[in-house]
Amino acid sequence: MVKKVIAPEQEKYDVIYEKILFNKITEAFSWRERPKAMRELGPIMMPDDEIALKQFLGKNWQDITLDIYVNYDDALFLFTPSAYAYYLPGLLITSVKAMDIAIAEDEAIVRAEAEAEAEAKAKAIDIALGRTRAKVRAKARAMARAESLAKARVIWNKKARIKDLIDKIVFWIMDFEKILSESHLFERWTILTIEEYLAVKAWLIWITREDTYQDDEDIYQNDESLCQNDVMNSLISLDKLIDLAKQREKWRCK
């Protein structure tokens, strides 16, 4: 996959847009208070479930890091609907910020590779050790490439963790009929306000834009269209949920 380097003008636009997006998310969910009841009544929790919930206990959503959302995502299944809605904006915002960092690191590797290539060509002029220019250039290029590959693997792992988190939301909302038929999904995804749905929709469009959501492995496995279909179905579901919310508002006004 050919990596792209974002132009400075695009970077400025991205920064401005994300400020608008974060404000949209924060304002949409600002009316929600941290719930006292964090988990739904049910069977005795497993030790891992207790540990996961403790990471959120007594904390505002602004205090939850991406590592907590990723490493203790069991809590998302255990939350009450109100707790889920309360911590949702933190998940949205931290995932965007983490993806930005991963993309910036990815672009840094592209720039470093270009610089290494230029340096390799320059070193080829030096034949003091009796090597040919081609050998000098090849060795420098190989060393730079090995270093870039190691860094790329670390970044790929970061993006994979973020993508897994995004996929959880995409998976939950991509089937509207399933939302209506399964109580666990229904209780969580039909209680949001119109503004909250719009904020989630804006987040989903932004974080899955172009190739930021798509990774090399997906493209090599020809899964790109599958990912795009899942995202599109999620956006359609959100539109239908917005329609439901509008209907609820009409009923309240009667």
At 2 the pLDDT is 43
Round to whole Å and give the CA distance between 53 and 185.
19
At 155 the pLDDT is 66
Is residue 2 in a domain? Answer: no
Q: What is the pLDDT of residues 99-115, one digit of tens each?
A: 888 777 766 666 666 66
Is residue 71 in a domain? Answer: yes
Q: What is the pLDDT of residues 124-156, one digit of tens each?
A: 555 555 555 556 566 656 666 666 666 667 666
Residue 7 confidence (pLDDT) above 90: no
Residue 189 confidence (pLDDT) above 60: yes
Number of CB atoms found within 10 A of residue 132's CB:
10
Residue type, position 210, single letter: E
Is residue 3 in a domain? Answer: no
At 185 the pLDDT is 92
The number of domains in the chain is: 1
- The model's pTM: 0.79
Is residue 206 in a domain? Answer: yes
Q: Is 95 helix (H, G, I), strand (E, B) or coil?
A: helix
- Per the structure, the complete domain to which residue 169 belongs is given by 8-253
Is residue 1 in a domain? Answer: no
Is residue 192 in a domain? Answer: yes
Q: Taking the chain, what is the end-to-end CA distance rounded to the nearest angstrom?
A: 56
Residue written as token pair 């973020």: 162
Is residue 22 in a domain? Answer: yes
